[in-house]
Structure 1
Amino acid sequence: MKAEILTIRFVHEGWSRFGIARVRLADGAVVEREIEDHGNSVGILPYDPERRVATLVRELRVPPLFAAGEQVQLEAPAGMIDAGSPEENARREAMEEVGLRLGALEFVGATYSCASLTTEKIHLYLAPYGRADRVEAGGGAEDEHENIRVIEMPLAELAARADRAEITDLKTLTLILALRARHPELFVP
């Protein structure tokens, strides 16, 4: 017997939908599980291989503020997939958030951000850039009130923060580790 969803009752529908699913498990037991659904996303770690820096953002995330009083966290640029491919959305988000025109994207993977709760699958990319690719200031879409601060950081410092467990955003940690595994020479001071 395979698991199957018997019913889903949505208790909120806004930017995200929150529902409660009744599920028959493979052993026949019927249980309830919560579901958060807001679509899929992209996360990008833009890095300059010549200067050995990465461009990240700091912005308020309300769940960490609620859970731990954290005002902002250091993150790779990211956003929801609207119309178009994940690659098109990655390039759009990089332009909106950090003002970078990206060319090549190196696919890292597509993974569920928290499979026990959300339907969101995040498509992760590494993206090399150069000085000439910074064409705007960034800061986020004006109508979204993101209040993004753009941070350019040496890759060696970023790796040290990861090693000290100071990177609290999972997509960002994944991207740092992927860049380090694929291009270790960029992290040598």
Structure 2
Amino acid sequence: MKAEILSLRFIHEGWSKFGLAKVRLADGSEAEREIEDHGNSVGILPYDPERRVATLVRELRVPALYVAGAQTQMEAPAGLIDDGSPEENARREVLEEAGIRLRDLEPVGTTYSCAGISTEQIHLFLAPYRAADRETKGGGAEGEHENIKVLELPLSALAEMADQGRLTDLKTLTLVLALRARHPDLFAG
């Protein structure tokens, strides 16, 4: 027997939708499961191979504030997919958040951010850039109250943070590890 959703009711519909699903499990028993749905997203690690740096952002993350008292989190630029392809949205997000106009995108993969509760699939990209590709100071889209701080860090520092377990954002950790695996020469010496 395969698992199946018997019923689904949404108890909140705002930026995210929260629902309760009644599920028949593979063994025939029934259970209730929670579902959070806010759409799919993109996550991008812009990096300058000449200067061996990456651009990340720091912004308020209220859930981290709630559970850990952390005011902000350092992470790769990211955002929800609005209209268009994941690639178009990746370029838009990096321009809004970090002020960099991207040309090339290297797909890393599409994964569930947390399949146990969320429907979100995140499209991950590595994105080389040059210093001349910076068009604005970044900071986020006007009217979205993101208050983003743009950070440029040496790739060696990001590798050290990954090795020490200090990258607390999963997409950022994944992207740093992917960059190290695909372009180890950027981290040499």
TM-score (norm 2): 0.99
Flag as ranges the 4+ runs of structure 1 deviating above 4 A. Answer: none
**CA apart distance, 1:72:** 0.8
1:171 aligns with 2:165: no
Letter in 1 for 2:129: Y
* Correspondences of 1:131-142 after superposition (within 5 Å): 131-142=131-142
1:47 aligns with 2:47: yes
**CA apart distance, 1:73:** 1.1
**CA apart distance, 1:81:** 0.2
The match for 2:65 is 65
TM-score (norm 1): 0.99
Residue-by-residue CA offset, 1:23-62 (whole Å, 9 max, x unaligned): 0011101000000000000000000000000000000001
CA distance in structure 1 between the partners assigned to 2:71 and 2:160 by the alignment: 22
Q: Per the alignment, in what secondary structure is the counterpart of residue 47 of structure 1?
A: strand
CA distance in structure 2 between the partners assigned to 1:188 and 1:160 by the alignment: 13
Residue-by-residue CA offset, 1:85-117 (whole Å, 9 max, x unaligned): 000000000000000000010000000000001
Letter in 2 for 1:65: L
Letter in 2 for 1:64: A
1:97 aligns with 2:90: no
The match for 1:18 is 18
Q: Aligned-pair RMSD on alpha carbons?
A: 0.5
The match for 1:83 is 83
Letter in 2 for 1:111: T
**CA apart distance, 1:188:** 1.9
1:153 aligns with 2:153: yes
Tell me the percent identity.
Answer: 73
CA distance in structure 2 between the partners assigned to 1:49 and 1:9 by the alignment: 48
Q: Structure 1: 5+ residue runs without aligned partners? A: none
**CA apart distance, 1:140:** 0.2
CA distance in structure 2 between the partners assigned to 1:142 and 1:87 by the alignment: 21
CA distance in structure 2 between the partners assigned to 1:179 and 1:89 by the alignment: 20
Q: Structure 2: 5+ residue runs without aligned partners? A: none
**CA apart distance, 1:9:** 1.0
CA distance in structure 2 between the partners assigned to 1:109 and 1:140 by the alignment: 25
Letter in 2 for 1:151: L
CA distance in structure 2 between the partners assigned to 1:81 and 1:117 by the alignment: 19
Q: Per the alignment, in what secondary structure is the counterpart of residue 15 of structure 1?
A: coil
CA distance in structure 1 between the partners assigned to 2:98 and 2:89 by the alignment: 14
Letter in 2 for 1:102: L
